[in-house]
Amino acid sequence: GNIGNTHEVDVTFESNTPKILNANALKVNQETCLIQWTIDGSLELIDHFIIVKEILGHSSIVGKSHNNFSGKTIEFYDNITINDVGELSYKIIPVFCDYSHGTEITTNKIRINDMRKYNG
Amino acid 66: pLDDT: 81
Q: What is the pLDDT of residue 1?
A: 60
Answer for the pair 77, 34: CB distance below 8 angstroms, yes or no.
yes
Average pLDDT over residues 5-9: 75
Q: pLDDT tens, 43-66? A: 888 999 999 999 988 999 999 988
pLDDT the model gives residue 102: 92
The whole-number average pLDDT for the span 19-35 is: 93
In a 10 Å sphere around its CB, with 0-12 CB exposed, 13-18 middle and 19+ buried, how is residue 7 labelled?
exposed
CA dist 93 and 76 (Å) reads 13
Is residue 110 within 8 A of residue 89, CB to CB? The reply is yes
User: CA separation (Å) from 54 to 2, 23, 66, 84?
Assistant: 63, 14, 21, 10
Q: How far is CA 88 from CA 98, 103, 104, in A?
A: 30, 20, 16
